[in-house]
Homo-oligomer: A and B are copies of this chain.
Amino acid sequence: MRKVEVCLSPELLHLYDVDDKIVVIVDIFRATSTMIAALASGVTGIVPVMDLETCKSYKEKGYIIAGERDGQKAPGFEMGNSPIAYLEGDFLGKKIAMTTTNGTVAIEKTKNAAHSILIGAFVNISATTRFIQNQKKDVLILCAGWKGKFNLEDSLYSGALVSKLHPHFRTDCDSAIALKSLFESNSHRLQLFIGQASHAKRLQNHGIEKDIDFCLEMDKYDFTALLQGNEISIHKA
Q: Is A54 an interface residue (CB 8 A)?
A: no
Q: Is A172 an interface residue (CB 8 A)?
A: yes
Assess whether B198 is in contact with A178, with CB atoms less than 8 Å apart.
no
Assess whether A152 is in contact with B172, with CB atoms less than 8 Å apart.
no
Residue in B closest to A152 when the chains form the complex, CB atoms: B174
Proximity string of chain A (8-40) to chain B, C-beta cutoff 8 Å, 1 when within and 0 when not:
110110010000000000000000000000000
Complex Cα distance, B15 from A196, in Å, reads 21
Assess whether A12 is in contact with B15, with CB atoms less than 8 Å apart.
no
CB distance from A158 to the nearest CB of B (A): 11
The answer to whether A148 and B12 touch (CB under 8 A), given A173-B198, A174-B197, is yes
Complex Cα distance, B146 from A149, in Å, reads 18
Q: Is A87 an interface residue (CB 8 A)?
A: no
Residue in B closest to A8 when the chains form the complex, CB atoms: B150
Assess whether B198 is in contact with A172, with CB atoms less than 8 Å apart.
yes
CB distance from A78 to the nearest CB of B (A): 31
Residues of B within 8 A of A197 (CB): 174, 177
CB distance from A145 to the nearest CB of B (A): 9
Interface stretch, picked from A112-120, A133-141, A181-189, A208-216, is A181-189
> A181's contact among B151, B193, B198, B201, by CB below 8 Å, is which?
B193
Residue in B closest to A154 when the chains form the complex, CB atoms: B174
> A174's contact among B148, B151, B185, by CB below 8 Å, is which?
B151
Complex Cα distance, B162 from A196, in Å, reads 15
Residues of B within 8 A of A175 (CB): 149-150
CB distance from A189 to the nearest CB of B (A): 10
Complex Cα distance, B164 from A28, in Å, reads 30
Residues of B within 8 A of A181 (CB): 182, 185-186, 193
The answer to whether A15 and B147 touch (CB under 8 A), given A172-B198, A178-B152, is yes
Residues of B within 8 A of A146 (CB): 174
Q: Is A155 an interface residue (CB 8 A)?
A: yes
Complex Cα distance, B151 from A174, in Å, reads 5
Assess whether A178 is in contact with B149, with CB atoms less than 8 Å apart.
no
Complex Cα distance, B12 from A182, in Å, reads 21
Q: Which of A175, A178, A185, A201 has the most CB of B within 10 A?
A: A178
7 A-B pairs closest in CB distance: A185-B185, A152-B174, A150-B175, A15-B148, A151-B174, A177-B196, A182-B182
